[in-house]
Amino acid sequence: MPEAHGSRNQQERMTGNGIELNDDGSRETCWVISDGAAGNERQALALAQGLGLEAVTIRLRLARPWRWFAPHLTWLVGSAMRCTDGSRISTAWPDVAIGCGRTAALLTRCLRQWSGGRCFTVQILDPRIAPHRFGAVIAPRHDALAGDNVITTLGAINTIDDAWLAHAREQFPALEALPVPRIAVLVGGPHKAQALDDDYLESLKQCLVSLHARHGGSFLVSTSRRTPPKMRAALRSWFTQWPGVFWADRSDGENSYPGMLAWADRFVVSADSVNMISEACATGKPVHAFAPKPVAGKLARFHDALRNAGHLCALDADAPTAQQPLRELPEVVQRARTLWGTHRTALCETES
């Protein structure tokens, strides 16, 4: 494994703007560890921002067989880790490490050991190993994790609040001129609990045709990296019949997804994407998770939890009411900061 750096004083203080500082006035260091998945990285960065930390993003690549068994196999793991650009993982361990996803969980787990327990490790989503191997674990309710250091959420954490939405409206003012209601259609990718295939696309088309026939308006359409190219092309062609905007990649110009979240009057989101559904629910506007066939497993539990909490509405509701925004980051930050403080206290007692 990489060699750990030496001991350091862990007493910190916070500035008035929420930035965490060491006692010498230097900023706390933070790594956001990502497997490259955009949704995972956004969650980890949201937590770092909430904690007042300026993060360095580590996009992790694992060699086989560590990639297959992450985060369980730690034997000789230091030689199996690289950043996606091919560089080695730095041995200047951070004060805080925030990982999201199973691949990231392997490095987050190892940092606790390599740093001699000095690095406060936070893992977002079920790490597939016991939560006590991390300083904190943040997992949605449908992951069914329990433990003294487990912070449970309904959905994916994000930074969306009223100020965020106001800024996004300023960034994309042209969307305001589109006919109302502005219906955002957010499309993810295939999922074992919900296939995004030709039948799914046809069902989505029929529902949106009916919705537009009843209400008119425009469509704000965004696909994701996981959307199959064939479906992306079909959606691009199909939505040309109506006013609106379509964004799939850089060829469409600046990513207008933030503007869509800010200007939409209601949302239709593919059932597979926990991140996009959570972000839509954070706006406080009516949200429907489109699933023409029943979903099962964790995804079904996620939908049920949101529906029971009043964050999802039926697609055929002609006058859906605004929902209470799903904004979980402040509470997550508060609980993570408490666990971090306990970690610091124990560390100071050990090193004194």
The residue ranking higher by pLDDT, 9 or 209, is 209
**Half-sphere exposure for 89 (CA within 13 Å, toward CB):** 29
- Residues ≥6 apart with Cβ < 8 Å to 268: 183, 184, 185, 186, 204, 207, 208, 211, 288, 290, 315
pLDDT confidence band for 326 (50 / 70 / 90): very high
The residue ranking higher by pLDDT, 316 or 85, is 85
pLDDT confidence band for 316 (50 / 70 / 90): confident
**Block residue for tokens 């207008």:** 256
What confidence score (pLDDT) does residue 246 get? Answer: 97
- Stated as kind and residue range, the H or E segment containing 210 is helix 198-215
Q: What is the DSSP string of 312-334?
A: ---TT-SSPPPPPP---HHHHHH
**Token output for 144:** 């069914």
Is a pLDDT exceeding 90 seen at residue 40? yes
Is a pLDDT exceeding 50 seen at residue 7? no
What pTM did the predictor assign?
0.89
Tens of pLDDT, residues 65-81: 999 999 999 998 998 99
**Token output for 140:** 């949605």
What confidence score (pLDDT) does residue 233 get? Answer: 94
Is a pLDDT exceeding 60 seen at residue 23? no
Compute CA distances 31 → 50, 93, 293, whole Å: 14, 9, 40
pLDDT confidence band for 2 (50 / 70 / 90): very low
What confidence score (pLDDT) does residue 191 get? Answer: 85
Ramachandran assignment for 333, one of left (phi > 0), alpha (psi -120 to 50 degrees), beta (any other): alpha
Query: Mind listing the domains of the chain with CATH numbers?
Result: 12-157+329-351 (3.40.50), 162-308 (3.40.50.2000)
Q: Which residue spans within 188-233 are E strands per DSSP?
A: 218-223
Is a pLDDT exceeding 90 seen at residue 24? no
Is a pLDDT exceeding 80 seen at residue 16? no
Q: What is the mean pLDDT of residues 338-345?
A: 96
Q: What is the mean pLDDT of residues 159-168?
A: 98
Distance CA 316, CA 313 (A): 9
**Token output for 245:** 């905007």
**Token output for 261:** 């979240």
- What does DSSP assign to residue 191? B
Is a pLDDT exceeding 50 seen at residue 25? no
Distance CA 54, CA 20 (A): 9
- What does DSSP assign to residue 128? S
Tens of pLDDT, residues 167-208: 999 999 999 999 999 999 999 998 888 888 889 999 999 999
Query: First vs last Cα of the chain: how many Å apart?
Result: 27
Q: What is the mean pLDDT of the chain?
A: 90
Is a pLDDT exceeding 60 seen at residue 12? no
Would strands 55-62 and 81-83 be described as parallel, antiparallel, or unpaired? antiparallel
Tens of pLDDT, residues 234-264: 999 999 999 999 999 999 999 999 999 999 9
**Block residue for tokens 């045709």:** 209
What confidence score (pLDDT) does residue 22 get? Answer: 57
Compute CA distances 171 → 38, 103, 184, 260, whole Å: 21, 34, 17, 11
Compute CA distances 73 → 34, 59, 61, 128, 308, whole Å: 18, 19, 15, 12, 39
Distance CA 120, CA 146 (A): 19
The percent of residues in the chain predicted with pLDDT above 90, rounded, is 80
Is a pLDDT exceeding 90 seen at residue 166? yes
What confidence score (pLDDT) does residue 9 get? Answer: 33
- Report the amino acid identity of residue 130: A
Tens of pLDDT, residues 121-146: 999 999 999 999 999 999 999 999 99
- Residues ≥6 apart with Cβ < 8 Å to 101: 34, 35, 37, 40, 124, 125
Q: What is the mean pLDDT of residues 161-169?
A: 98
What confidence score (pLDDT) does residue 14 get? Answer: 43
